[in-house]
Amino acid sequence: MKRLAVLGSTGSIGTSVSRVVARFPDRFAVTALAARGNVELLARQIGLHAPRIAVVADEARAKRLAALLPDSKTEILHGPEGYAQAASLPDVDMVVSAMVGAAGLLPTLAALSAKKTVALANKETLVMAGALVTETARKNGVSILPVDSEHSAIFQCLQGQDRSALARLVLTASGGPFRILEKEALANATPGDALRHPNWTMGKKITIDSATLMNKGLEVIEARWLFDVPVDNIGVVVHPESVIHSMAVFHDGAVLAQMGVPDMLVPIAFALSWPDRLPLAQLVPDLASMGKLTFEEPDTERFPCLKLAYQAAREGGAYPAVLNAANEEAVGAFLDRSLSFPGIAEAVEDALSAFPAPGKLELEDILAADAWARARVARRVDGEV
């Protein structure tokens, strides 16, 4: 029986984790659930999984949650200490890190420091602090297992392979809802348009990141840390059908690809049950009726966020943290219509070019870079810079 702490349990990934657990009750149990503020859904999840601990963002939400569960034995905690506690409980075997954005960093570090295996969906953690996070995992002798479908695909392709024969990685991208939209039309794209992803159903932030191709840029940085491959050996190809989830290229020219229908259940289940595979009985792609799979170069003219992510990754230091925080703020501003769609990339570019890089790179430097970038974007949205 694997005992889980699910951070971000009320999100798109978190609810899929809950589905996997409910389907395989002899394999998984939930010891802790954590979310920000969707107390109604969290209360239902507590009813289903009876965790020992549940955590929300603040005291007011904790009180609302408690009021929904008058007879529950689940202890309700709140705030950063509560998240850190859920991530490091002695009776947890695996922490599923599925909060969205920079909020995932500190709980993920707490989990690794407490020697927990981490199933990582929260790519922002590795973008912000890849060196620190992977070093914390190494020092504590624990693994970070990818949940992201592209990284899960590569992880699956690398099973049983000689790692020294790995030459390159190729991440596939659907191209998002604006793949064939003219550059001029992007200026008028609304949040509603950008949230209509052609192939995947996901939370709002990652859906906007998919529309700008920032998601693929964040994934390049995530792959750099997960698989210890230089960013210049990580390529991106647009593959609108989302059947091939990514590829590993070996030094003899062999290319291994992992395929499947676009459904996060498969990579989530693989991370939870690795090295076993669960009998999910998923549909498989009907290749004959599809006829062909297509591939194209990403267009970084129309979608500069991908280029900016490579730039930040090559600069290293706290630049990826600035990229991530500026993007998070800019996406929020786009969603509440204070920035245009192209304004997201412009705000990120501005933050990267104005950032006064710090000399050191401890956790506090990364958090300071994150705060600096958020303030910079806020000033830009207000027309001050």
Residues contributing to the site for ligand NAP (CB under 6 A): 8-14, 35-38, 57, 98-100, 103, 121-124, 148, 200, 202-206, 264
For ligand NAP, give the closer residue by CB, 202 or 377: 202
Please, what is the minimum distance in Å from the beta carbon of residue 148 to ligand NAP? 4
Which residues make Cβ contacts (< 8 Å) with residue 14, sequence separation at least 6?
6, 7, 8, 35, 96, 98
**Maximal C-alpha separation, the chain:** 62
Which residues make Cβ contacts (< 8 Å) with residue 371, sequence separation at least 6?
325
Please, what is the minimum distance in Å from the beta carbon of residue 242 to ligand NAP? 12
Instruction: Give the tokens for residue 321.
Output: 């943290």
Instruction: Give the tokens for residue 150.
Output: 């592209």
Please report which helix (H) or strand (E) contains residue 244, including its range: strand 244-250
Q: Among residues 228, 86, 219, which one has the least CA distance to residue 148? A: 219
Please, what is the minimum distance in Å from the beta carbon of residue 353 to ligand NAP? 25
Please, what is the minimum distance in Å from the beta carbon of residue 384 to ligand NAP? 25
143 phi-psi bin (left φ>0, alpha ψ -120 to 50, beta other): beta
For ligand NAP, give the closer residue by CB, 202 or 359: 202
Q: Please, is 164 exposed, middle or buried when counting C-beta atoms within 10 Å of its C-beta (0-12, 13-18, 19+)?
A: exposed
For ligand NAP, give the closer residue by CB, 208 or 229: 208
Q: Does residue 261 contact residue 196 with C-beta atoms inside 8 Å?
A: no
* DSSP category for residue 103: G
Please, what is the minimum distance in Å from the beta carbon of residue 185 to ligand NAP? 26
Please, what is the minimum distance in Å from the beta carbon of residue 18 to ligand NAP? 11
Q: Does residue 172 contact residue 237 with C-beta atoms inside 8 Å?
A: yes
For ligand NAP, give the closer residue by CB, 57 or 361: 57
For ligand NAP, give the closer residue by CB, 205 or 374: 205
* Other Cβ atoms within 10 Å of 109 Cβ, number: 22
Find the radius of gyration of the CA atoms of the chain. Answer: 20
For ligand NAP, give the closer residue by CB, 141 or 150: 150
Q: Is 155 helix (H, G, I), strand (E, B) or coil?
A: helix
For ligand NAP, give the closer residue by CB, 43 or 264: 264
Please, what is the minimum distance in Å from the beta carbon of residue 265 to ligand NAP? 10
CA-CA distances (angstroms) from residue 335 to 190, 205, 208, 367? 8, 9, 9, 24
Closest residue (Cβ) to ligand NAP? 11
For ligand NAP, give the closer residue by CB, 357 or 371: 371
For ligand NAP, give the closer residue by CB, 188 or 201: 201
Instruction: Give the tokens for residue 206.
Output: 């990652």
How far apart are alpha carbons 110 and 86 in whole angstroms? 9
How far apart are alpha carbons 173 and 91 in whole angstroms? 38
Task: Name the one residue in this structure whose structure tokens are 């996070």.
Answer: 133
Please, what is the minimum distance in Å from the beta carbon of residue 276 to ligand NAP? 21
Please, what is the minimum distance in Å from the beta carbon of residue 203 to ligand NAP? 3
Q: Does residue 173 contact residue 216 with C-beta atoms inside 8 Å?
A: yes
Please, what is the minimum distance in Å from the beta carbon of residue 256 to ligand NAP? 21
For ligand NAP, give the closer residue by CB, 110 or 206: 206
